[in-house]
Amino acid sequence: GIQVEQSPPDLILQEGANSTLRCNFSDSVNNLQWFHQNPWGQLINLFYIPSGTKQNGRLSATTVATERYSLLYISSSQTTDSGVYFCAVVSIGNAGNMLTFGGGTRLMVKP
Amino acid sequence: DAGVTQSPTHLIKTRGQQVTLRCSPKSGHDTVSWYQQALGQGPQFIFQYYEEEERQRGNFPDRFSGHQFPNYSSELNVNALLLGDSALYLCASSWLTYEQYFGPGTRLTVT
């Protein structure tokens, strides 16, 4: 099955700093989603981005499907950005939309 | 607009017992998926229901079974509980095979 790798696994930032999280996947995909998991376990949708670039406030994401990677940019980080960021993909040829998750990037933003 | 809801929030069971978890999808959604998230890992796909039938299944034993009702809500049943079944169980819903939205999860502890 498809493999999804995220880097870095852990990231510590000072409030106000910028960061880039990376997601590599081993095969062609139909869909790609980025999530933020808060300390209570809730997965919050950030982007639905099988290709191209999207922006939402201080966050933006770019997926280059032909090169099998996606990037999540966080600018002017805030303490509330802390948590785990997951990339998840649906591989091409999938009958449904089963998501395969990466291992996540654990972000801590210090005040 | 109510999001995805799950019940119960927390559950403690003993090895060998059976458990049923419940999920109500987001309004307008017809597809429900279940995921298991062990501590420190990304969610793993269990199975997906569409039109009251199991459409896809992940690498989980037959002890894990499910059901979807005519109103699109769903149940996850786990028989003969093992200590290793302790995890956060997440339900996600979508319209057809598009973007998935997750509920808050049920935290299951098996003692």
Determine the pLDDT at residue B1.
67
pLDDT at residue A96, rounded to an integer: 80
Q: Is the pLDDT of residue B68 over 70?
A: yes
- CA nearest A11: which of A74, A87, A58, A53? A74
Mean pLDDT of the B17-44 span? 96
In this structure, CATH architecture of domain A4-110: Sandwich (2.60)
Collapsing DSSP to helix, strand or coil, A65 comes out as helix
pLDDT tops 90 at residue B45: yes
Per DSSP, A2 falls in state -
Confidence (pLDDT) at A30: 87
- Average pLDDT on B6-22 reads 98
- Structure tokens given for B86: 């302790």
- How many separate domains does chain B show? 1
A61 and A71 Cβ atoms separated by less than 8 Å: yes
Domain containing residue B83: 5-110
Cα–Cα distance for residue pair A74/B81, rounded to 1 Å = 41
Give the contacts of A102 (CB within 8 A, at least 6 positions apart).
A4, A5, A6, A23, A86, A87, A88, B42
> Residue A81 phi/psi, 5° resolution?
-80, -10
Mean pLDDT value across chain B: 96
Using a CB–CB cut-off of 8 Å, the residues of B that contact A are 31, 33, 35, 37, 41-45, 48, 50, 55-56, 58, 88, 90, 92, 94, 96-102, 104-105, 107
pLDDT greater than 90 at residue B16: yes
Identify the CATH number of the domain in which residue B99 sits. Answer: 2.60.40.10
User: What pLDDT is stored for residue A91 in this prediction?
Assistant: 81
CA distance B98 to A76: 31
B43–A86 CB contact, under 8 Å: yes
Which ranges of chain A have pLDDT less than 70?
Answer: none
Residue B87 has pLDDT above 80, yes or no: yes
